[in-house]
A and B are shown apart, each in its own frame.
Chain A
Amino acid sequence: MIVDSGNFFTFKQKKIRMKVLIIEDEKALSDSIVEYLKVEGYRCEVAHDYQTAVEKINLYKYDCALVDINLPDGSGLDVIRELKSLKVSCGIIIISARNSIDDRIDGLEIGADDYLTKPFNLSELNARIKSVIRRINFSGSNIIEFNELKIDTASLEVWVSGQLLELTKKELDLLLYFLSNKNRVLTKESLGEHVWGDYADTLDSFDFIYTHIKNLRKKLLKKGSADYIQNVYGVGYKFVSE
């Protein structure tokens, strides 16, 4: 089953299933990640230790690798070094329990593309994977298209059926996040965290996010877009594509 979703970015060529390698020693967590990414149409493979990870990256080609730093028999940083020495175009996202700046800097310096600290939202991880793959595979093109929507991630411009739509930076962030997680229930917390980061946990009761999403929806509808954003009772929102 190929679910058409892993490519909201425009493929001019044939649809290719992206391959993601998940290097994570906690089986329960890697299972969750696989389960979530499966729906996006990715082909996921899992390595629970350093040895397996190194074997896999030497044997196969991946579009993106999620790397946990603490592995039972080695360091995820070494996996990244290995990957880099192979000179393959593979996006690398570090997922670590240690939120240490040094790790982050080390990881990014040796060539990782992004860094996520546990515990993270799967929707956030999904958005990051897409962004990384997009950067690597479609360098030069920053256009995301979905039905009547078109977004230029470089110039931060949005068009609805060819009409330019004025959005604030936050509204654009929200829209991109929704587009990365189509047909997913996105919690208010994950929306808040994604858009406001460190400033998010002040957003008492998240009424604030409600206002922003309401504005975004209104603007989209006004330009004639379909009503994609739905409220999921008490939990959050969903971008419904069909």
Chain B
Amino acid sequence: MRLLNKTSLIIITVSLFIYFLGGVGFFHFIRTMINNQIDTELSAYAKNLAHELAEFRAIDNAMLITEKNVQLIKLEGNEHVVPSFKDTVLFDKFEKQYLPYRMYQTHAFINNSNYKISIFRSTLSSENLIQRIIAFLSVMLMLLIVCLFFLNRYLFKRIWDDFFNTIDRINSFNWQTGDGLNLQDSEIEEFQTLNNSITRMTKKIRSDFVSLKEFTENASHELQTPLAIMRSKIELLLQSDNIKKEQLEIFKSLYDSVNRLASMNKVLVLLTKIENNQFPEKLQVNLQERIEFHLENFEELINSRQIQLSKELSAVNRMMNAELADMLLINLIKNAIRHNVDGGELRITLTEEHLQISNSGPKSEVAADKIFQRFTKTSTSKESIGLGLAIVKKICDINQMLVNYDFKDDMNVMTVKILQ
């Protein structure tokens, strides 16, 4: 969720909640005020009425319901009525409906007789008043929320502008070259602190990155010569006459190790070169043609393992470095042959969208997300140095292609999305 939406949502929720609570409270407050007012009037009227009736002694049964709003009922004996206020409804003959009334009940001794006095007063006007107040308040509330919403947006744009600027800069930062991170100074102290920290951190990461890269580069270059010496010396040793079988075995295992080191080193140099963008020339590579070409070179190997090759290739061109395209294809095909079983199946499909190379070897022991990492290999393939797929991944990365591994229908499937 975006920061703006998040804050807007919180502001609206909280204000709605507060206004709702406030509205209910206000309604009850006004209600109580009005009732108090009416009650005071009613009790005063009851006292006056009792007083006047006693004064004029003009009371008889016929008089008891003289006025619509007053009721006098003669009570037997000394029956007591506790003075009380009550909300009620009465039927209005003219309006033909029940209308709200406030009622006051008490009793009084008039001319030595005990009377129950009930006084009614219509609350219709005060109800109307309350309704109008509520309606007015609701409109105000809506207006306020709308204002808050726009104010929030406005403030958000103004205040967080520097922050978003920083985010853009970080996104466009290129680790390879170190370009792109020129954070603008911010008037807001917190953002300025953030910018300073980010600048400091990226400087540190960048310098670590560069020195690590230089180290790998130098190390692998410097390793070539000692490796060449070791290899040549062992080769010379192998040529000497009268070598015993045991010695031959020792030389052989030395030779194998040097070869392993040499090929690992070769790949590390290659990976560094790809990273350093030392394969800049791009052209339209005819992938179909290249696949056919490499398959021809792999033909004997494929035949020697009785692997069934099936291919479905459409004419696809892609803009990329020709050498890297070859490396990508060779490594993918190699991988599919190496991890295949004798008499297995090798299936290659090339469409506009993707290149798919499947082999019927056993499911990879390595988790699908780790398979492209450096030096990831299965225990069964001792010949492999575990860098082939790292090359594949790297080449795909710099060409904005996605590569992924999947195991379905008993096949190991490598898919490269070649669509640009």
Contacts and interface: CB of A to CB of B under 8 A. Distances in A.
Contacts of B278: 100
Majority-rule SS of A interface residues: helix
A16 B259 CA distance: 36
Interface stretch (A47-55, A78-86, A231-239): A231-239
Counting chain B CB atoms within 10 Å of each CB, the highest count among A35, A97, A212 belongs to A97
A187 B238 contact: yes
A190 to B, nearest CB: 8
A26 B330 contact: no
Contacts of A163: none
A120 interface: yes
Contact of A36 (B229, B230, B235, B323): B235
B239 A211 contact: no
Which of B235, B255, B269, B330 has the most chain A CB atoms closer than 10 A to its own CB?
A: B235
Interface in B268-312: 269-270, 273, 278, 294, 297-298, 300-301, 304
Interface residues of A, number: 42
Chain A CB count within 10 A is highest, among B232, B236, B298, for: B232
Interface stretch (A147-155, A195-203, A219-227): A195-203
Nearest to B237: A185
A51 to B, nearest CB: 20
Interface of A: 26, 28-29, 32-33, 35-36, 39, 97-101, 117-123, 170, 184-185, 187, 189-190, 196, 198-199, 201-205, 207-208, 211-212, 232-235
13 contacts: A26-B229, A28-B229, A29-B228, A32-B233, A119-B228, A119-B231, A122-B232, A187-B235, A189-B256, A199-B297, A202-B301, A208-B300, A212-B300
Interface of B: 221, 224-225, 227-233, 235-236, 238-239, 245, 248-249, 251-252, 255-256, 258-259, 262-263, 266, 269-270, 273, 278, 294, 297-298, 300-301, 304, 323, 330, 334, 337-338, 381, 383
The 9 closest A-B pairs by CB, nearest first: A32-B232, A119-B228, A97-B224, A118-B228, A119-B227, A28-B229, A185-B238, A118-B224, A202-B334
